[in-house]
């Protein structure tokens, strides 16, 4: 009888372990600039915790509209801090969970080596036809790009040559495909493991624009969701931060 009870206890424990291993699941809306690091973080998170994440990438402004209209996202990793703040004020998310998971770095980039100088003086030249910039009304990196041009006194000169991307991912594609010889993108899109993957770039000084503080927040559909809570904790951890830093973000 004792052996049976012991065996039964082991069986129950095994079931509980299997159940824990399955974990919970959460849908995460991720700012397009954070695509590459979040893919790595999500893989590590799932392996380390047993929870599952479903990732969607896009413009923060569009995600806000979807969330306001009832989209069942559980966590938002925004490209700014104002959208999560607005979401909290409107009761669409839990303001107590909000924190800055990364501070973005704007970069003027070209796929061509040597095309963009390290001081950004290429912007003053007239031998290029197009420059890619994300929609400043939807994408914080696009807004930062326009603020930079204003600071340099080049808005009127450059504006007629702007090719506007819907989000920072599309903006990057314009430059990567050669449709635009240069463009303002997120450093995370062209950097990996602390190095520029290809081409040439100007790291835009942070004094040229408002800080790109990227905040995360747990949304109303995921309040009490174990995977959402665990993910927010994981983003603060050493493993996630090492990945984030390798793509050129600060904290």
All residue ranges of the chain with pLDDT < 50 are 1-5, 9-20
| Judgement on whether residues 228 and 136 belong to the same structural domain of the protein | no
Residue 14 lies in a domain: no
Tokens of 99: 């924190």
Residue 19 lies in a domain: no
pTM: 0.86
Residue 63 lies in a domain: yes
For the four alpha carbons of 207, 210, 214 and 218, in that order, the dihedral sign comes to positive
- Listed in sequence order, the residues at least 6 apart from 11 whose beta carbon sits closer than 8 Å to its beta carbon are none
Contact 178, 111 (CB under 8 A): yes
| Judgement on whether residues 185 and 113 belong to the same structural domain of the protein | yes
Cα separations (Å) of 52 from 2, 12, 27, 73?
38, 24, 9, 14
Residue 113 sits in which domain range? 106-208
Tell me, what's the pLDDT at 246?
Answer: 94
List pLDDT tens digits, range 183-225.
999 999 999 888 999 999 999 999 999 999 999 999 999 999 9
Residue 61 lies in a domain: yes
CA 230, chain centre distance (Å): 18
CA 214, chain centre distance (Å): 7
Residue 1 lies in a domain: no
* Total structural domains within the chain: 2
Tell me, what's the pLDDT at 22?
Answer: 66
Residue 35 lies in a domain: yes
CATH of the domain at 180: 3.40.190.10
| Judgement on whether residues 113 and 203 belong to the same structural domain of the protein | yes
């Amino acid at each position: 009888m004792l052996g049976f009870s012991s065996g039964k206890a082991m069986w129950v424990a095994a079931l509980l372990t299997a159940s824990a291993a399955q974990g919970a699941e959460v849908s995460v809306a991720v700012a397009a600039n954070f695509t590459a690091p979040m893919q790595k973080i999500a893989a590590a998170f799932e392996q380390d915790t047993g929870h599952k994440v479903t990732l969607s990438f896009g413009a923060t402004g569009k995600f806000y509209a979807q969330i306001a209209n009832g989209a069942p996202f559980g966590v938002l990793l925004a490209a700014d801090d104002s959208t999560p703040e607005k979401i909290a004020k409107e009761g669409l998310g839990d303001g107590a969970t909000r924190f800055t998971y990364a501070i973005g770095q704007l970069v003027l980039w070209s796929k061509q080596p040597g095309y963009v100088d390290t001081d950004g003086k290429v912007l003053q030249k007239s031998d290029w036809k197009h420059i890619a910039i994300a929609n400043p009304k939807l994408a914080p990196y696009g807004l930062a790009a326009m603020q930079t041009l204003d600071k340099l006194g080049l808005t009127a000169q450059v504006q007629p040559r702007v090719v506007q991307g819907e989000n920072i991912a599309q903006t990057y594609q314009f430059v990567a495909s050669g449709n635009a010889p240069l463009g303002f993108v997120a450093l995370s899109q062209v950097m990996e493991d602390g190095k520029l993957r290809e081409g040439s770039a100007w790291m835009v000084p942070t004094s040229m624009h408002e800080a790109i503080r990227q905040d995360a927040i747990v949304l109303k559909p995921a309040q009490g969701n174990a995977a959402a809570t665990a993910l927010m904790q994981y983003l603060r951890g050493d493993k996630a931060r090492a990945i984030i830093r390798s793509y050129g973000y600060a904290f």
